Chain A
């Protein structure tokens, strides 16, 4: 029954893609949106039934993919990721119908969006190497083409190049890893690989894990494999960037958990310390760049790097604790990581949709050119604000519950410590603490500069609220931010099931979920529902206190400017000036490019003619690691071009030489 539901969902997604490609202009947008929404709802229902029953959906067909056939199997771990994708996908298809209706996209985008969502639903259900790689590539290519719908802009073309390069190197690494272990296992189904995991030579296992980690970590945007992410996510159209940051990066995490804990059966301590190390570096690097960035979508993209880093810290801690035999603590860390994945998906999906609306309404995503949008786009701004508070891990929003679970897992890990785990956990805690403050600074900037104050440009002044479908799409994702914040206990039992699947075996539940969350075997407990109620009650009381004494309306007066009467929008702090102190504190990491050009009048050098100041923050890793690498590759390309000049005679000579060499060697 639920198998049919899931397959039906995938079928609806495919139908949505066909409808988007084939139907006439007027009909295709609503048809594709309805079919995609149906696909998401069906997949959600199927995954929910998997989680409720704790069983597995399986499907096998030899006809669909030649030679290997298609093999699907949806277990509770995969179901968590399917549910996450389905929720984001539903919101995005709702948003996209409004986005497209107001001139957002053409035939290609309408057809590809359902395909992208379907492939995102398919990846966590794949149960063989061939199926997995096919789904993975479908996801990579459909998102690449969606990114290229903006091909008229140079930045989008650049981003697409970076994305194509990184995603294919990553896919090659994953393919190598999977082929390596499936060759040793003698079968390409995941079940066969898992059964033979114990008999793999240790060197092969470690090599396979490292290759898979490189591939999946680049998809999850872990530093230093993140360089494509802050380019591709901002350049993609609004709905696509929400899907990329809300759903696609999660599958990188899924891949690491599935390969490391599942296919390779846990493995060694240092694997997971490496994962946690990647997480620490990503969290800090991402948070710093987010705090310094003044481009709204680039800020959000770096914040994705940051949050995936936090998830990796949880996954790494879980693996390391499992390797030391602390089953319950490992499950706790895994539950925390999965909770953070879900919470981040909703939050970041909502924020990227909001950024898309801002770009749509004001024509720019540069915070230095925005301002005052709360009064112009009240609904969008409110929903963006809810998601922004949630991502800062503030109670009573969803981010806090995830942060608390992760802190509890790390805190408890210290008690079963060895020097290596304790150091890793300490680094994790320190990174978590540092990113917390930086994230708050980044999102106060994003909301405070973008939506409050006065509009800084005429286009921001003229911005108007976006269509109801776009607002509804955002609202769909803001609901989980609030609900999971108030009652995190609603999904924690499901996450416990999924972490049992991920880690193998069923350890006793690490978290008791009732009205609140309680760590098993301790007095540590939070009651977010009560906390929410208390906050609201206190808010209302304080409001009543002000209202009881003061008159109803408030008088408007000019703001204080040292006695000057006039306040202009240019006198406000901008995003760049807001971030300047932090940028200066962390100058060694961010390495901003500053340029000051002062030209003097010809008559006298004591009078300035013009002053031009520019400051830019490039990705230091891109500049210092990737640029030299690209230079090296293109130099090799030059050499190869000399050897390959199009002359038939020369190619024949190469063939002859190669033949001789082979004969001699043989």
Chain B
């Protein structure tokens, strides 16, 4: 019992570490793919990690009218994301925290991070922070239901909302991958991933014009170590969401036991899967234009409808 507890705690720590390093690398990879597609050389893939290392030892600077919420928000973001990463079956199906990796826990932990960052954006009392927070919460309010209903469709199919349970059930029933409800839920989830991580049809992470920003406007007042935490938190969140998509729809390669070679293999496979998805996202980003803010609800509504259809299909085609 004690040995298995230690092993699962070790797996959790490994997952957090992997997300902490892998998340920024995924950012770097996407930037690299975009640069190459646009005919530029681009920064090295590890550039986001170098940026974090540069930011962490800098001086802390807070806006004049900000309160304790401004420095607290990045901590809540990173803590909630780290806990979500720790309990999700990313590398192994044996997670820590007493098998509490419920999909709804993950969804609401992600929401906790979003709410914290939005409050941090409002704290400095500026026009841009409020604008970013308002837009991010609008998009979040519409992405959240699509995410929730999509994971519900998966839970109904697997007859459990326990994430390791869903992943194991998928491994046991490979034909589920091609079932209509899985495919519909996959589309819904992918749209949600674009919205939640601020990728191009929804938000442009590379914009330099404040008025077109969503996420960047919200975190405009952050500098130094706190900016590093926000960036790292967002990167880990990207890693988590991509790994979730990978493991829910293509779970092969995940370790069923906590033995070291299986974990190494699981880590390598996960890295390959997420890198592939990140590459696809980068290609979509290069080939698409950013949508007007008020067109974004339309694609999120489409994601919601797809998710609801996934549930309906699961009911009528058992």
Contacts and interface: CB of A to CB of B under 8 A. Distances in A.
Contacts of A516: 98, 100
Contacts of A524: 102, 160-162, 165
Nearest to B67: A374
B104 interface: yes
Question: DSSP class of A's interface residues: helix, strand, loop or mixed?
Answer: helix
B260 interface: no
Contacts of A429: 148-149, 152, 311
Contacts of A515: 98
Nearest to B161: A524
Given A542-B79, A581-B138, A573 B114 contact: no
Interface stretch (B23-31, B105-113, B272-280): B105-113
A539 to B, nearest CB: 4
A652 interface: no
A407 to B, nearest CB: 6
A567 B65 contact: yes
Contact of A404 (B98, B102, B162): B102
Given A516-B100, A580-B134, A585-B138, A550 B224 contact: yes
A555 B62 contact: yes
A524 B102 CA distance: 7
A448 B126 contact: no
Contacts of B142: 437, 585
B65 A546 contact: no
Interface string B19-39: 000000000000000000000
Contacts of B149: 429-430, 433
B105 A572 contact: no
Contacts of B62: 554-557
B315 interface: yes
B135 interface: yes
Given A440-B144, A453-B65, A422 B315 contact: yes
A437 B145 contact: yes
A545 B114 CA distance: 21
B235 to A, nearest CB: 14
A559 B65 contact: yes
A394 interface: yes
Nearest to B139: A581
Interface stretch (B116-124, B171-179, B240-248): B116-124
Nearest to B144: A437
B152 A407 contact: yes
B201 interface: no
A488 to B, nearest CB: 13
Interface string A336-365: 000000000000000000000000000000
Given A433-B145, A437-B145, A546-B226, A558 B137 contact: no
B64 A556 contact: yes
B141 interface: yes
Interface string A132-146: 000000000000000
Nearest to B117: A444
Contacts of B99: 523, 525
A395 B109 contact: yes
A584 interface: yes
B100 A527 contact: yes
Interface in A93-148: none
Interface string A28-70: 0000000000000000000000000000000000000000000
Interface string A415-432: 101000010001001101
Contacts of B124: 453, 559
A134 B87 CA distance: 53
Interface bin, chain A: 35 or more
Contacts, number: 273
Contacts of A440: 111, 114-115, 137, 140-141, 144
B308 interface: yes
A542 B294 contact: no
Interface string A512-548: 0001100000111111001100111011011101100
A580 to B, nearest CB: 7
Contact of A558 (B63, B87, B294): B63
A535 B83 contact: yes
Interface string B46-69: 000000000011111111111111
A526 B102 contact: yes
A581 B130 contact: no
B127 A436 contact: no
Contact of B65 (A454, A550, A577, A579): A454
Given A437-B143, A559-B221, A572-B126, A534 B83 contact: yes
Interface of B: 56-69, 71, 74-76, 78-80, 82-83, 86-87, 97-100, 102, 104-105, 108-109, 111-112, 114-115, 118-119, 121-131, 133-135, 137-138, 140-146, 148-149, 152, 155-156, 159-162, 165, 210, 220-221, 224-226, 229, 293-294, 297, 304, 308, 311-312, 314-315
21 contacts: A291-B141, A372-B65, A403-B104, A403-B108, A437-B144, A444-B119, A445-B137, A448-B121, A449-B130, A453-B65, A516-B98, A524-B161, A539-B76, A550-B225, A554-B61, A555-B62, A557-B64, A559-B221, A578-B133, A578-B134, A581-B293
Given A440-B144, A545-B225, A546-B229, 6 more contacts: A395-B108, A404-B105, A522-B160, A525-B99, A550-B60, A581-B138
